[in-house]
Structure 1
Amino acid sequence: MAGAYYFQWQNEFLCKTIYPMREQKLRDFLVYYMEVDIWAQYKGKDIAALQSDVQAYKKAQELAAITAYKSYSSLLNYFKTADVRGYYVKFKPADEAELAEINKLHQLFISSWPKDIRGERSFVQMQINYWVNHRNLLRDWIKSRKRRLDGMGLDHPKRPAEAAELALKESVSLPMAEQELDQLRAFDSTYDKIEKPKLEWYKLQKSDPNYKTPEADFLVHYSPTKAVTIQDIAIWRAEEYKSSLAKKNQFELLEEAYLRFKKEPKRFPYWLQYMVVHFSGMRYASAHGSWADPKDLLIKLRIAEVEKENKLIPNDLEVEKQCKEKIAQYESASGMNRPKLASATDKAWKDKVALHMLSVKANGPKTRRAGLAALKAEEVNYEYMSMTTDEALKKLESMKATFPKWAWKEIVKLTPLRVNYVADLNWETFTPEELAERNLPQHNDLRMVMDAWITKHIGAWRDEHGRTHELIVSRAVCNETAEHIQHIRGHLPPGGLTPKPNWYLKNEKEKILPGAYYVKPTSANEYTPGASILWLRFVTKQPDAWQVAKPIETKDGVGLIAKGFVGRKPKDKKDIPWVYKPGEITTRSRTYIDANKQKVNEQQWLRWIHEATVAEVAETADGPTIITYETALPDGDKGTSAVGIFKMPLSWHLSDGTEDAYNRSFVGYVPEGQVPVEHMKTMLDWNKIILK
């Protein structure tokens, strides 16, 4: 094996590709819960009794102001540097075209920098938006070129040049653009500390012609006139804690998490521990097609061999001979060559044997031949289905030398073998040479087996995880993340977003587990840890079957559309109201004349857009908060598109949003069922989680 790991996130190459936000989301978990604990420590205390905290806070703010001003000055000088080639020397060779774009950005800072603080931050944020678009164009170009090369022949005369251009864009141009974007964001963040004092200095020197204190002196010695509050101290303490985590790697962060779990196991149930450890930072993409059953591959490979062997049976006499041998094997209690299936005790398997034996014992040669083939196939099924996953993986490992490179790469990609066999970042994609080899005529039979195996298991991860609770997927979207959680809580909810409300409503009505509910939340009380939050949104494209919001009401008669929006008369006569049409699919439409005096018919469909799981209802210095385990939406930037812990104010969760930015949500809850404790002992074995 290439390594000796237990979980995929321990492999550095898998961590980089599957968990792009690994450390960030582990930090978020620790920080969000620390914010809650810190506020619980300070809430209700008299600030007069906390003078040591106040003085420490003031001293910290002074140091932070100095640090922020130094960063601000340094970054401003950077962005006012016309040629920043020296900052990009690590890229060899540098992309001259990208460097020109970066220098062009710097020319904007030089020529258009605002005259005073009032316009600075908005200017910086405009440049961030501009540069994000530039970065995204690079990403799109790379995707397009990859698709082009995938369809281009290996002997195409343009291939070498276009492949080299792609390599440059991917390894140099995009990282250069990302580095510049990081600098812009770092510059923007300095305003969190210095914008207010800079504005105060600006007003002072404008109002008093004799005011001579230099801006730099004012900023580094700035002392807020506003009295320090309990909230200020709590927020500062949380920021200090966050800073203490900044340089910790994932294993150090996991140790911090372990201490929390050990101290408060009731606060952190198995499902939350499991998700924090195994899913934090995972990429946002469908889990479909990221796992296939290794046992089933062994079955398909062996059955293909058995079918070839059956075709070589020369005549009916040989078929009759083999049938007699099978009858003897199954009707005797022992024997050297007795297949494992002959010893099966499970009724389902015994029934299958009995069915096949009817044909094996038949008089007609065709029936006997068919029965013999079916029995042999069943023997293969039983032999490999009786294996554990580890046994199946070891069997595949023993066969590694028999597979061509492309097939082994595909097997590693789709099974837990990736944990220890992936040794580069390109483990998910074929090289042109591997793809060409895969399509060679001599691999037709193997390719058909592999394709059938992959196709069969595109969505099979859901049932497998519900049964084994192992970490088998390499990506997940919102509802898939929530389904993993419910599996650990002892439930098997339906897949997708559309069936979830009915599933919760059915549990509430049938009282399968007392305490289940499906409600439109009106207070923090309805956000029980382990509950699903399901959001609605109007979209401009007709939703798929697993997204559409079908008519449903809570037991209190609350439906999908906020009553205040239907038939609403706009305050401004220029606003064109939506006309709602309920039905199997709720739609709304309106007609208006646009800025170009063109008639526009606008139609939107209602769909379920997102699912999150409640981790905790809490209070921080910023107010009541809901901490959730979920995914960020896919249009988020690189810092947010991942699985993990998130938080939003309670007020945001309770709001339906505006009519044009619809944000209505419902909460569904089912108490824990039979939690797979034995499986959790394996998946939460800290001797295997924290590698020393």
Structure 2
Amino acid sequence: MAEPLYFQWQNDVLCKTIYPMREPKLRDFLVYYMEIDLWKQYKDKDISTLKTEVDAYVKAQELAAIVAYKAYSSLRGYFQQKDVRGYYLKYRPINEAELTEINNFHAIFIEGWPKDIRGERSFVEGQLQYWTNHRNMHREAVKSKKRRVENMDPAHPKRPVEIEELAVMEKVTLPMAEQEIEQVRAFLKTYDKIEARKLAWYKLSKADPAFSTSEAEFLVQYKPENPVTVRDIVVWKAEEYEASLEKKNQYELLEEIYQRFKKEPNRYPHWLQYMVVHFSGMRYASAHNSWADPKLLLMRLRGSNAGSEIRKLDDAAVEKLCAEKIAAYETGTGSNIPKLARASEKEWKDKVALHMLSVKASGPKTRRNGLTALQAEELNYEINSMSTDEALKSLEAMKSTFPAWAWKEIVKLTPLRVNHVTDPNWEKLTPEEETARYSQAYNDIRNVLDAWENYDSSAWREEHGRTHELIVSRAVCNETAEHCQHLRGHLPPGGLTPKPKWYFNNETEGKLTGEPRPFYTKPTTAADYVPGASILWLRFVDKEPNAWQIAKEVKTKSGVGLLPNMEKKKGDKPDSKAATTPWEYQKGETVTRSRTVVDPATKAKTQQHQWLRWIHEATVAEVAETADGTMVITYETALPDDDKGTSSVGTFKMPLSWHLDDGPEDTYNRSFVGFVPEGQVPTEHLKSMLDWNRILRKKVV
């Protein structure tokens, strides 16, 4: 018998929907750290002592040349086909309009294919951008249709048609566009392996009229132009390792990760272990409204019946019950003493004192009201004292009392989804369920669920900071970073805007203990990227940001602000060829800039206005040397407009030089680093979340 499911990513249906990039991001973690370790192992070696590795490298490159050419040739052949219907027959029914767009796309490939191979890569890059725009159009159409469906009256006669159209857009049209874009990306990637050899063949064929080797023959024959270096060996070994992971499932990848954690526990802090295991591959979307407190639901469900029994009692019975409550709370005597009578928390003791005034009153009506209120508090305290598992078991025991649509909503917003979700459409009610939900027969339960679901969309933040359980099913950049800080013993403010000030205040107040000391800085060296620190990026945008994104003026302790000294930019030419005037900056509590832009075709002038906002947050995992230079390894999300291969939660790497660079003026990309030392790490909570017997679902420890 298989081990039970403990975490949502262990449920196959949830893994596919919540973690669309699960295996790729687990692989990324392993590959990035292997690249670091391999360079550390080989960087000081003399290539003359590595004959065995060099021979193996040469043989591997000979085989790789053949494989690379086959991949290039196959994908080029695909894009040279006028009709690719056969590749899309799995979509039923196929969207004929989208297939026509795809075939037209192939016609552009055929007609525009460069005669000079030096233009191939740039041509494919242009086609990728063209099709990305096309795919994005479908994404926006899906969002628009979703909003339309969500805002329609459930009884609207056209709603079922709109829902069906949305289903086709989501399950056929958009996936067809996504499939084609993945083919273009795969084709473009082949140039990483083949372009240098193609250019070498081109030069030889042009330089020597007698040169008779065909391009295909030349490309499958590996002949190194330069001596093999240590860097070549390291890059090859990293590629071999990455290839060895390609077909491993998430449990096999987690086994590799476990061995790495076990071997070097001090290298991987608990917060990183937790995030790698439980968040890698998670979808990019706001965590708001992805969780609601199961205890609060129990309170609302039972509270709706609170007082019903007391209302049935006569005055004499109420007086007797009041006397029993007074004895229980004041002397601790009686046969059925409630948990609340033993509460030590001031908040609850104050509530008891308030209600006891009414319980002790002389008037029967006041006593009855006081008794009803006290009973409700007793119920709330009892539920509040439950563990999450106890609350979930209580809800499970009530399953038969809920209509199907209500149970589906409860499962969606609580950890019950781990063992109760079996339907890929677990997050959406069917048209029939929607109709039932809004029927008059279910007014009472609908009102309870609406109040529960909408009580606090960001309640996940405080709950995770308190329990450190896996409760969300999606996250954006700052929410991912906030999870990291919760695991480091901190509860930072939500959103991006408050973070710089939070780090700056911790630096200036100096109340937190630990080393390194808290800081907020404009990074200038690798030493600024301390593991556990937040990296916060700025960007100018065309749409006014909301209060959680806008960049408010805050300077580092050394006086570095959001913008460089703009005096240095006087006389600079604008980056964009369309701009006729330089940017003019308006600085205050927030920063904006504007300029006049001329349309190259019509010569029409328009005013461009932009706002400075915090655009992204990441958490530093490690800074290390690799064969490609110094890299900053982070745990973060890619931005939502990134491609499918990177737009998810997980481990990322970028060169240190990229992190330190503000970028050109038009695409300004300055970043700051904020750090606080670890606080009270939730060790007891992490024992369960990092229990590898549960993670791997077998006995390993």
TM-score (norm 1): 0.95
Cross-structure match for 1:237: 237
Asked if the contact 2:324/2:334 (under 8 Å) is kept, the reply is no
Asked if the contact 2:299/2:380 (under 8 Å) is kept, the reply is yes
Match of residue 693, structure 2, among 669, 687, 691: 687
Give the drift of 1:539.
1.8
Is there any run of 5+ residues in structure 1 with no aligned partner, and where?
A: none
Distance (whole Å) between structure 1 residues aligned to residue 506 and residue 258 of structure 2: 34
Distance (whole Å) between structure 2 residues aligned to residue 609 and residue 304 of structure 1: 44
Cross-structure match for 2:540: 538
Cα deviation, 1:501-551, whole Å, max 9, x if unaligned, reads 122122212222251111111101111101111111122222222222222
Give the drift of 1:365.
4.0
| 1:589 equivalenced with 2:591 (yes/no) | no
Cross-structure match for 2:630: 624
1:599-614 aligned within 5 A: 599-614=605-620
Give the drift of 1:347.
4.4
Quick one: structure 1 residues 374 and 527, their matched pair in 2 at CA, closer, same or farther if it must change by over 3 Å? same
Asked if the contact 1:71/1:190 (under 8 Å) is kept, the reply is yes
Asked if the contact 2:476/2:637 (under 8 Å) is kept, the reply is yes
Cross-structure match for 1:41: 41
Distance (whole Å) between structure 1 residues aligned to residue 466 and residue 504 of structure 2: 24
Asked if the contact 1:630/1:643 (under 8 Å) is kept, the reply is yes
Cross-structure match for 1:507: 506
Equivalent residue letter for 1:686? W
Give the drift of 1:24.
0.7
Asked if the contact 1:406/1:434 (under 8 Å) is kept, the reply is yes
Quick one: structure 1 residues 362 and 418, their matched pair in 2 at CA, closer, same or farther if it must change by over 3 Å? same
Is there any run of 5+ residues in structure 2 with no aligned partner, and where?
A: none
Distance (whole Å) between structure 2 residues aligned to residue 407 and residue 160 of structure 1: 20
Equivalent residue letter for 2:382? E
Quick one: structure 1 residues 609 and 566, their matched pair in 2 at CA, closer, same or farther if it must change by over 3 Å? farther
Quick one: structure 1 residues 155 and 350, their matched pair in 2 at CA, closer, same or farther if it must change by over 3 Å? closer
Asked if the contact 1:566/1:580 (under 8 Å) is kept, the reply is no
1:426-445 aligned within 5 A: 426-445=425-444
Specify the SS of the correspondent of 2:52: helix
Distance (whole Å) between structure 2 residues aligned to residue 158 and residue 674 of structure 1: 55
Give the drift of 1:593.
4.2
Match of residue 663, structure 1, among 663, 669, 674: 669
Give the drift of 1:639.
1.4
Asked if the contact 2:327/2:333 (under 8 Å) is kept, the reply is no
Distance (whole Å) between structure 2 residues aligned to residue 111 and residue 352 of structure 1: 78
Distance (whole Å) between structure 2 residues aligned to residue 609 and residue 137 of structure 1: 23
Cα deviation, 1:458-513, whole Å, max 9, x if unaligned, reads 11111111111111111111111111111111111111112211221222122222
Give the drift of 1:329.
4.2
Give the drift of 1:109.
3.0
Give the drift of 1:613.
0.7
Distance (whole Å) between structure 2 residues aligned to residue 163 and residue 501 of structure 1: 43
Cross-structure match for 1:577: 582
Cα deviation, 1:117-153, whole Å, max 9, x if unaligned, reads 1222222222222222333333333344444444556
Specify the SS of the correspondent of 1:305: coil
Could you tell which deviates more after superposition, 488-497 or 143-152? 143-152
1:387-398 aligned within 5 A: 387-398=386-397
Give the drift of 1:634.
1.2
Specify the SS of the correspondent of 1:306: coil
Equivalent residue letter for 1:239? E
Cross-structure match for 1:15: 15
Distance (whole Å) between structure 2 residues aligned to residue 352 and residue 156 of structure 1: 47
Equivalent residue letter for 1:94? I
Distance (whole Å) between structure 2 residues aligned to residue 581 and residue 342 of structure 1: 61
Cross-structure match for 1:517: 519
Cross-structure match for 1:497: 496
Give the drift of 1:349.
2.7
Quick one: structure 1 residues 113 and 486, their matched pair in 2 at CA, closer, same or farther if it must change by over 3 Å? same
Distance (whole Å) between structure 1 residues aligned to residue 447 and residue 165 of structure 2: 34
**Identity, % of aligned pairs?**
67
1:417-566 aligned within 5 A: 417-512=416-511, 513-514=513-514, 515-564=517-566
Distance (whole Å) between structure 2 residues aligned to residue 589 and residue 138 of structure 1: 31
Give the drift of 1:112.
2.8
Cα deviation, 1:84-118, whole Å, max 9, x if unaligned, reads 33333434443333333332222223333222312
Quick one: structure 1 residues 259 and 565, their matched pair in 2 at CA, closer, same or farther if it must change by over 3 Å? farther
Give the drift of 1:621.
0.7
Give the drift of 1:385.
0.7
Specify the SS of the correspondent of 1:268: coil
Specify the SS of the correspondent of 1:275: helix
Quick one: structure 1 residues 489 and 155, their matched pair in 2 at CA, closer, same or farther if it must change by over 3 Å? closer
Asked if the contact 2:622/2:634 (under 8 Å) is kept, the reply is yes
Asked if the contact 2:632/2:656 (under 8 Å) is kept, the reply is yes
Specify the SS of the correspondent of 1:485: helix
Cross-structure match for 2:369: 370
Could you tell which deviates more after superposition, 140-149 or 231-240? 140-149
Cross-structure match for 1:641: 647
1:92-491 aligned within 5 A: 92-150=92-150, 163-309=163-309, 312-313=311-312, 319-331=318-330, 333-491=332-490
Specify the SS of the correspondent of 2:353: helix
Specify the SS of the correspondent of 1:521: coil
Asked if the contact 1:567/1:579 (under 8 Å) is kept, the reply is no
Asked if the contact 1:570/1:576 (under 8 Å) is kept, the reply is no
Specify the SS of the correspondent of 1:449: helix
Asked if the contact 2:534/2:618 (under 8 Å) is kept, the reply is yes
Cα deviation, 1:293-322, whole Å, max 9, x if unaligned, reads 111111111111014445x44775665454
Give the drift of 1:592.
4.6
Distance (whole Å) between structure 1 residues aligned to residue 155 and residue 507 of structure 2: 63
Asked if the contact 1:565/1:659 (under 8 Å) is kept, the reply is no
Distance (whole Å) between structure 2 residues aligned to residue 153 and residue 429 of structure 1: 16
Quick one: structure 1 residues 612 and 100, their matched pair in 2 at CA, closer, same or farther if it must change by over 3 Å? same
Quick one: structure 1 residues 551 and 255, their matched pair in 2 at CA, closer, same or farther if it must change by over 3 Å? same
Equivalent residue letter for 1:608? W
Asked if the contact 2:160/2:431 (under 8 Å) is kept, the reply is no
| 1:62 equivalenced with 2:62 (yes/no) | yes
Quick one: structure 1 residues 549 and 76, their matched pair in 2 at CA, closer, same or farther if it must change by over 3 Å? closer
Asked if the contact 1:283/1:641 (under 8 Å) is kept, the reply is yes
Distance (whole Å) between structure 1 residues aligned to residue 96 and residue 115 of structure 2: 32
Cα deviation, 1:34-88, whole Å, max 9, x if unaligned, reads 0111111111322222232222222211111111111222222222222233333
| 1:677 equivalenced with 2:683 (yes/no) | yes
Specify the SS of the correspondent of 1:58: helix
Equivalent residue letter for 1:267? R
Equivalent residue letter for 1:367? T
Equivalent residue letter for 1:447? R
Equivalent residue letter for 2:228? V
Specify the SS of the correspondent of 1:456: coil
